[in-house]
């Protein structure tokens, strides 16, 4: 076997120290030669390079040797005085396989670990093994005369070092030392497993290359940040492990400081979090499934709630229809039996008059009933006017005194200066009366009734509606009556809801209040305590000041002049029965009637000569052009011809108002109709 060629690198010329220590005469299997760094460049085929302390820039020498001899070993002899420098150098110098310290105690555990580690790394390799033993023996520190304490210290160090090696070897996490240029200086066994390659396979590649291509920028970022001194935590990077499985590693990194405090490299811990990631993913999926199941359950519940609401609505409609049918049947019974009796030819005069009176009263009650229903449905053709609420309340309160009786103390509290509202005055008065009558019934004729007026700038949340901003007049009616149980408060505004005995209440009073308030752009609320009393609060939109004094009076100038006869009326009515009846009534009242059955026909009659008429009297709800459209056409083409409209209920009227036309509400009494027709005809002829 040929001897191992060892080249000892010295300063310019081998000094005494080097010569004695590396005198290889006694090493039969080792051929030692000495060279200065310059000579070494041409020295060629040495297998082991020993760099001695006299060499300037030992690391550069080691590198250039390894370039020429990639499989060569570099042994590094450090002078005791340069230990600190060695400590900084070794972790980042993979070229140096082994480091020795001559005649020195390695009391610094870190340094000791580095030196021993480097030895352990190469100890098992090749022929150099024997050489180490001998050289180590030669350079072993002199132990003669050392005290027991020092030996103990040494043993402790050796123990600590073994533990440390075991920890590194058994650590489940990959531990890596990376040079600032990204090259991997050292790693433990877990790194081999987690990074999917052996130490030899990793030779020559940089840290980012260890990871999946799309995570390499992330790895580079970790390296850069730690290299700048930052302590990087919990960055996830993916690698392909040895078995081809993709692992997610959670990486933490920090700077490695050299002796002078300068950053010399990066230390890095990588933990396999693939299992946790899988758990997280399945948890997420579970969550999503749960969410969608909850959403489905909620949707199902909403469907059930909607079905329930629908059922409740149907019940309410049933109650309403039943109530209307019941009341109307009662009224019709009176009318029908009165008519039967009137057919008797032998009926005496005063009986006849009584039956006719009964019919007339019943019709009035029926009209009131439909009026209340329309008010609740907010389909009442309102006649909004600007009026002083305080003044109206004061006037109506006088009337309320007689309604509630002498044993109820009535008082008013007026708390606003300009209390103008835009609403239908007569509906407003009806609402006050309805609430006062309820209060009287609740107090059983004895107690206190307080009506107050004030202004506010916001309606509070009522029945689940949000607040409504704006200026409002508030009219409150407070009584000291029986109160309303809280579970009934939701029902009192429903039509036909009543707690009064048969014949005492129809359950339409508060429906009118509710419909009127809503249709006027306001609202109504109730507060009650059983045994203490109830307060109804009506909100109406407030108007700054009267726009036009003539509109504010609230008092209608009734036509008192005697009805004059003989008006020429163009009647527009599509219903044959009603049309025939109207013709008869108007003719009986002395007018001359031309009857058109629709708006188009009416316009063509007028086109032939509008002078032939004093007034147009039209129904509102008709197929084709409706009454309001006809009225506007007439106003445009024949400005001198007045138009009077009639309707029982019309969407258009309820929503848009009456466009300035006179309106006669159905059912109308013949006398009222005649008075209105005369008045507008007269007004028009005065104006001309
Ligand atoms: N001030 C009040 N105090 C106690 N309960 C009241 C008061 N106002 C209304 N209620 C209750 O609300 C129900 C409905 O009132 P609403 O005015 O709509 O109908 P009514 O008074 O029963 O009949 P109608 O007014 O049609 O003659 C009343 O039957 C009563 O139970
Ligand atoms: Mg009532």
Going from the first residue of the chain to its last (688 residues), give the mean pLDDT of each consecutive group of 10, the final group possibly shorter: 74 69 59 76 72 71 73 70 66 66 59 52 38 48 50 69 76 88 84 83 83 90 90 90 83 85 87 90 93 92 81 73 80 86 88 89 86 72 84 88 88 88 89 93 93 91 78 95 93 88 82 89 93 96 66 38 69 88 84 93 93 93 90 93 86 70 82 84 71
Q: Which of 439, 449, 505 maximizes ligand 1 atoms within 8 Å of its Cβ, making it the mutation to test the pocket?
A: 505
- Together in a domain, 252 and 307: no
- In whole angstroms, how far apart are CA 306 and each of 309, 310, 313? 5, 6, 10
Considering the domain architecture, whether residues 19 and 160 belong to the same structural domain is answered as yes
439 lines ligand 1 (CB under 6 A): yes
With the most atoms of ligand 1 within 8 angstroms of its CB, the residue from 491, 497, 498 to mutate is 498
In this predicted structure, what is the pLDDT of residue 150? Answer: 59
**127 and 178, same structural domain?**
no
Residue 546 belongs to domain spanning: 378-552
Choose among 384, 316, 679: nearest CA to 552. 384
Give the closest residue to 34 by CA, choosing from 56, 55, 3, 8.
Answer: 8
Q: Tell the burial category of 225 from Cβ atoms under 10 Å away from its Cβ (0-12, 13-18, 19+).
A: middle
Q: Are residues 201 and 349 in the same domain?
A: no
CA distance 250 to 660: 81
Residues 432 and 302 in one domain: no
DSSP of 506-561: -S-HHHHHHHHHHHTT-EEEEEEETTTEEEEEEEEEEESS-S-HHHH--------S
Sign of CA dihedral 257, 259, 262, 264: negative
Closest residue to atom 27 of ligand 1, CA basis: 505
Is the Cβ atom of 643 under 6 angstroms away from ligand 1? no
Is the CB of residue 188 less than 8 Å from the CB of residue 174?
yes
CATH code (residue 501): 3.30.565.10
For the CA of 511, the nearest atom of ligand 1: 18
Q: What is the pLDDT of residue 373?
A: 77
Cα 667 to ligand 2 centroid, rounded to whole Å = 24
Last residue of a domain, one of 143, 167, 191: 167
Ligand 1 lined by 418 (C-beta under 6 Å): no
In a domain, 557, yes or no: no
Which of ligand 1's atoms lies nearest the C-alpha of 372? Answer: 26
Q: Which residue has the least CA distance to atom 17 on ligand 1?
A: 509
Question: Does a structural domain hold residue 453?
Answer: yes
Q: Hey, whose CA ends up nearest to atom 1 of ligand 1?
A: 439
pLDDT at residue number 100: 65
461 burial type by CB count under 10 A (0-12 exposed, 13-18 middle, 19+ buried): exposed
- H-type helices in 104-205, by residue range? 109-123, 128-139, 148-170, 189-195
Q: Tell whether 409 and 488 lie within a shared domain.
A: yes
Residue 577, Cβ density class (10 Å: 0-12 exposed, 13-18 middle, ≥19 buried): exposed
Q: Are residues 197 and 162 in the same domain?
A: no
- 558 is a domain residue: no
Final residue of a domain: which of 375, 393, 427? 375
Domain boundary among 502, 519, 552: 552
| DSSP designation for 611 | G
**Tokens encoding 449:** 């009734």
Q: What does the DSSP 8-state code read for residue 141? A: P
CA 470 to chain centre: 27
Q: Is 428 close to ligand 1, i.e. is its CB under 6 Å away?
A: no
CB distance 512 to ligand 1 below 6 Å: no
* CATH code: domain of residue 242: 3.30.450.20
58 lines ligand 1 (CB under 6 A): no
Which CATH number does the domain housing residue 574 bear? Answer: 3.40.50.2300
Contact 481 CB / ligand 1 (< 6 Å): yes
486, 487, 507: residue to mutate for ligand 1 pocket, most atoms within 8 A of CB = 507
Q: Using CA atoms, how far apart are residues 99 and 110, in angstroms rounded to an integer?
A: 13
Q: What's the distance, CA 475 to chain centroid?
A: 37
In this structure, the answer to whether residues 101 and 224 fall within a common structural domain is: no
- Our mutation pick for probing the ligand 1 site, out of 509, 532, 537, counting the most ligand atoms within 8 A of Cβ, is 509
Residue 510, ligand 1, Cβ within 6 A = yes
Residues 589 and 635 in one domain: yes
pLDDT value for 552: 39
In a domain, 588, yes or no: yes
- Please tell me whether residues 195 and 319 are part of one structural domain: no
∠ at Cα 103 (97, 104), nearest 5°?
80
Q: Total structural domains in the chain?
A: 5
- Note whether 582 and 459 are same-domain residues: no
Q: Is 562 contained in some domain?
A: no
Q: Is the CB of 475 under 6 A from ligand 1?
A: no
Ligand that lies nearest to the alpha carbon of residue 504, given by its number in the listed order: 1
Check residue 589 and give its pLDDT: 82
Whole-angstrom Cα distance, residue 187 to residue 191? 6
Is residue 413 a part of any domain in this protein?
yes
For the CA of 500, the nearest ligand = 1
| Residue 236 domain-assigned (yes or no) | yes
Instruction: Provide the b/e sequence for 101-133 (b: ≥16 CB within 10 Å).
Output: bbeebbeeeebbbbbbbbbeebeeeeebeebbe
Assess whether 11 and 153 both reside in one domain: yes
Q: Which helix (H) or strand (E) holds 671?
A: helix 670-687
Helical segments of 572-669, H only: 576-588, 599-608, 627-637, 651-656
* Residue 606 in domain: yes
Pair 545, 489: CB distance under 8 Å: no
């Amino acid at each position: 076997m040929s001897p191992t060629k060892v080249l000892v690198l010295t300063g310019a010329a081998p000094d005494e120290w080097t010569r004695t220590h590396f005198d290889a005469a006694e090493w039969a299997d080792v051929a030692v030669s000495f060279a200065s760094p310059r000579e070494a460049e041409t020295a060629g085929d040495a297998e082991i390079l020993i760099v001695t302390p006299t060499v300037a820039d030992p690391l550069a020498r080691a590198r250039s040797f390894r370039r020429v001899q990639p499989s060569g070993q570099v042994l590094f002899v450090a002078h005791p005085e340069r230990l600190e420098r060695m400590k900084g150098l070794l972790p980042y110098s993979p070229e140096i396989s082994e480091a020795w310290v001559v005649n020195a105690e390695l009391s610094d555990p870190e340094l000791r670990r580095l030196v021993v580690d480097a030895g352990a790394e190469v100890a098992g390799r090749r022929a150099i093994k024997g050489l180490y033993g001998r050289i180590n023996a030669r350079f072993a520190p002199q132990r003669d005369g050392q005290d027991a304490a020092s030996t103990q210290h040494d043993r402790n160090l050796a123990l600590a070092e073994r533990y440390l090696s075991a920890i590194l070897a058994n650590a489940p996490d990959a531990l890596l030392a990376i040079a600032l240029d990204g090259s991997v200086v050292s790693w433990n066994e877990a790194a081999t497993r987690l990074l999917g390659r052996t130490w030899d396979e990793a030779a020559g590649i940089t840290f980012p290359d260890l990871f999946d291509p799309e995570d390499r920028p992330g790895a580079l970022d970790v390296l850069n940040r730690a290299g700048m001194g930052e302590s990087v935590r919990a960055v996830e990077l993916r690698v392909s492990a040895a078995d081809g499985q993709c692992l997610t590693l959670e990486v933490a990194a920090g700077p490695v400081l050299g002796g002078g405090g300068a950053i010399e490299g990066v230390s890095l811990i990588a933990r396999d979090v693939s299992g946790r990631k899988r758990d997280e993913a399945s948890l997420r999926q579970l969550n999503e499934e749960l969410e969608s199941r909850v959403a489905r359950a909620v949707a199902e519940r909403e469907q059930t709630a909607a079905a329930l609401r629908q059922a409740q609505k149907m019940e309410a409609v049933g109650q309403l229809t039943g109530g209307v049918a019941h009341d109307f049947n009662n009224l019709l019974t009176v009318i029908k039996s009165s008519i039967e009796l009137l057919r008797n030819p032998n009926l005496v005069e005063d009986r006849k008059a009584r039956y006719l009176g009964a019919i007339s009263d019943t019709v009035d009650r029926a009209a009131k009933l439909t009026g209340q229903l329309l008010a609740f449905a907010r389909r009442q053709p309102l006649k909004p006017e600007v009026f002083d609420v305080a003044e109206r309340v004061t006037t109506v309160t006088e009337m309320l005194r007689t309604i509630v009786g002498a044993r109820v103390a009535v008082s008013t509290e007026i708390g606003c200066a300009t209390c103008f509202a835009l609403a239908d005055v007569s509906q407003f008065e009806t609402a006050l009366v309805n609430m006062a009558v309820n209060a009287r019934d609740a107090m059983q004729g004895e107690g206190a009734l307080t009506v107050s007026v004030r202004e506010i700038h916001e309606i509070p949340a009522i029945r689940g509606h949000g607040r409504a901003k704006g200026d409002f007049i508030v009219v409150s009616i407070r009584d000291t009556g029986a109160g309303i149980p809280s579970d009934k408060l939701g029902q009192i505004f429903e039509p036909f809801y009543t707690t009064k005995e048969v014949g005492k209440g129809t359950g339409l009073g508060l429906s009118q209040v509710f419909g009127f308030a809503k249709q006027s752009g306001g609202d109504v609320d109730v507060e009650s305590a059983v045994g203490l009393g109830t307060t109804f609060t009506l909100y109406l939109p407030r108007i700054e000041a009267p726009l036009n004094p003539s509109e504010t009076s609230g008092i209608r100038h009734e036509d008192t002049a005697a009805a004059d006869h003989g008006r020429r009326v163009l009647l527009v009515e599509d219903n044959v029965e009603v049309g025939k009846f109207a013709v008869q009534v108007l003719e009986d009242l002395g007018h001359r009637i031309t009857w058109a059955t629709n708006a188009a026909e009416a316009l063509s009659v007028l086109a032939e000569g509008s002078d032939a008429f004093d007034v147009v009297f039209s129904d509102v709800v008709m197929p084709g052009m409706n009454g309001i459209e006809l009225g506007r056409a007439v106003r445009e083409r024949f400005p001198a011809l007045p138009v009077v409209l009639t309707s029982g209920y019309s969407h258009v009227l309820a929503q848009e108002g009456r466009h300035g036309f006179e309106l006669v509400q159905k059912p109308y009494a013949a006398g009222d109709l005649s008075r209105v027709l005369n008045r507008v005809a007269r007004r028009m002829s005065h104006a001309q």
